[in-house]
């Protein structure tokens, strides 16, 4: 498209960082809600328990680290493959 800059590696890394920041904010929010809620909100089948389970599984994915490790190291050390 005319007038648009190409999608660069640097832009992809910034978007990836924003994605991880959003994940951390979501985790923090659900964790605070769970802490401030009653103990019955942690029982099986309760919505808050399901939200917490989902956000923990979102943050504990090792595949995202494997996918981005080479690009992250390249960005950190300032090298390109």
Single pTM value for the model: 0.62
Predicted local distance difference test score (pLDDT) of residue 62: 58
Predicted local distance difference test score (pLDDT) of residue 58: 79
In this prediction, the residues of the chain whose per-residue pLDDT falls under 50 are: none
DSSP string computed for 24-69: HHHHHHHHHHHHHS-GGGGSTT-HHHHHHHHHHHHHT-SHHHHHHH
> Domain spans of the chain?
24-35+43-81
């Amino acid at each position: 498209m005319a007038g648009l800059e190409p999608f660069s590696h640097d832009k992809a890394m910034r978007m990836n960082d924003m994605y991880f920041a959003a994940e951390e904010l979501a985790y923090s929010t659900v964790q605070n809600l769970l802490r401030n809620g009653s103990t019955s909100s942690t029982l099986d089948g309760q919505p808050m328990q399901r939200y917490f389970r989902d956000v923990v599984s979102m943050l504990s994915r090792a595949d995202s680290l494997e996918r981005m490790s080479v690009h992250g190291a390249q960005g950190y050390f300032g090298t390109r493959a």
